[in-house]
């Protein structure tokens, strides 16, 4: 399974780009991009979108990867993760239904 950092690093290397060039094009500090690629820091949603557009990657897939890593990091030492995720999904559906009912 590829991490978000792996995906970003592979995309850069496939285009044969150096960090400095990517940083200049997407207006994100070079050291931050390096940390994203090493999974030492997580990009913001805005940064994810900029990187997806620049590399020609699926915005949707990167966002899914980004959210799933945030959730996995939060729950990795928790008991009953499957149950937590099931209840969370039910709550999301409930909240959406409430919003649609307004």
Q: What is the pLDDT of residues 4-39, one digit of tens each?
A: 999 999 999 999 999 999 999 999 999 999 999 999
Output the pTM of the full model: 0.84
Measure the CA–CA gap between 102 and 97, rounded to whole angstroms. 9
Average pLDDT score, the chain = 95
pLDDT digits (tens, 9 = 90+) for 74-92: 999 999 999 999 999 999 9
């Amino acid at each position: 399974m590829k991490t978000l950092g792996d995906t970003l690093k592979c995309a850069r290397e496939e285009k044969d780009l150096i960090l400095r060039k990517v940083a200049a094009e997407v207006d994100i500090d070079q050291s931050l991009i390096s940390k994203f690629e090493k999974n030492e820091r997580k990009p913001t949603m805005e940064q994810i979108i900029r990187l997806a557009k620049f590399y020609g990657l699926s915005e949707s897939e990167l966002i899914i990867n980004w959210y799933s890593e945030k959730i996995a990091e939060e729950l990795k030492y928790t008991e009953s993760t499957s149950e937590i995720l099931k209840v969370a999904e039910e709550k999301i559906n409930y909240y959406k239904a409430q919003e649609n009912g307004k």
